[in-house]
Structure 1
């Protein structure tokens, strides 16, 4: 991020000088007035310039992308991170020769990267941004797997007239199953239970 300290005869003049040097607009920066300055006697004697500190506002997506790149690099893996901004979310796609290592068993590593990136991007944003981290089209493949699993277990719960507890999974995956089964049957409902890493979905038979 760019930042500098600028001076001028007035605060406004100092700000304009700083913006010109940074080649940024007022909406792109945060401004802190260090000294309002002093006109001095007759506008000459004892004059003190106004001093401001101008700092470029953090770009949430750039910050998150940089963070993700650093984490992957520290894992000893070379991968390119592509950011795709969509209306309600940002998708970070990982490309490289060893992206399978970034997915991990049942997507556990990818889910962890997604959670951390979610925290970073929203630390720098004044509105909530949903993050998806994907590699090798894993998210689409996983959704298909979850769809088949949800329908199979819902059928089992209906036939056996009992509740079925699934393994712990991230909220995004629980939501996929919930959405799939929301109109499945009047006899079936879904809800989440458990805390933290043990939070899981229950496919419940309405007795």
Structure 2
């Protein structure tokens, strides 16, 4: 069986070489999903690649590269320079604001559309805060709605 993590790491390594960036690549598999992390020991070299929209685009390109080699859909997650941890903190802040609206009397609070991975993170954050959430909408409009438990 071809290892999607190895294919993804090779793809990212080639990209870093083309950009002349240094980075250490780690591969981890959790729950059947590959997580690829790229970190740099020096300051700044990955900063341009660690912006959320850039990471999302690179993740999609990497998934396509893996799918081309394996013939199977890839659900890998790419993290560059701690971008996922930064995004998790942003999602936590969004949930906190939504919870405030609920505590002020709102019946429900909707968050903006986001990826399935981000919605899963939001569901976990919401549950940890003692509320319930569900995804609504279709395709690019799919978003999370938070309600009291």
Higher relative contact order (CA 8 A, sep 6+): 2
Distance 2:49 2:23 in 1: 12
Deviations 1:21-74 (A, max 9, x none): xxxxxxxxxxxxxxxxxxxxxxxxxxxxxxxxxxxx755333323333455666
Deviations 1:65-111 (A, max 9, x none): 3333455666xx3323533232423323153744222133xx11111
Shift of 1:181: 1.2
Q: 1:145 to 1:59 in 2, by over 3 A?
A: closer
Q: Could you tell me the TM-score, scaled by structure 1's length? A: 0.55
- 2:4 paired residue among 55, 60, 67: 60
- Alignment gaps of 5+ in structure 2: none
Q: Could you tell me the TM-score, scaled by structure 2's length? A: 0.72
8 Å CA contact 2:55–2:83 kept in 1: the answer is: no
Q: Is the aligned partner of 1:198 residue 2:145?
A: no
Shift of 1:162: 2.6
Distance 2:91 2:58 in 1: 20
Q: Is the aligned partner of 1:137 residue 2:79?
A: no
Distance 2:107 2:85 in 1: 30
- 2:27 paired residue among 85, 89, 113: 85
Distance 2:35 2:128 in 1: 28
Report the counterpart of residue 47 of structure 2 in structure 1.
100
Count of aligned residue pairs for this structure pair? 144
8 Å CA contact 1:85–1:91 kept in 2: the answer is: yes
Greater helix fraction, Structure 1 or Structure 2: 2
* Structure of larger gyration radius: 1
Distance 1:198 1:67 in 2: 30
- Mapping of 1:1-207 within 5 angstroms? 58-71=2-15, 77-88=19-30, 89-95=34-40, 97-104=44-51, 107-125=52-70, 130-185=75-130, 188-205=131-148
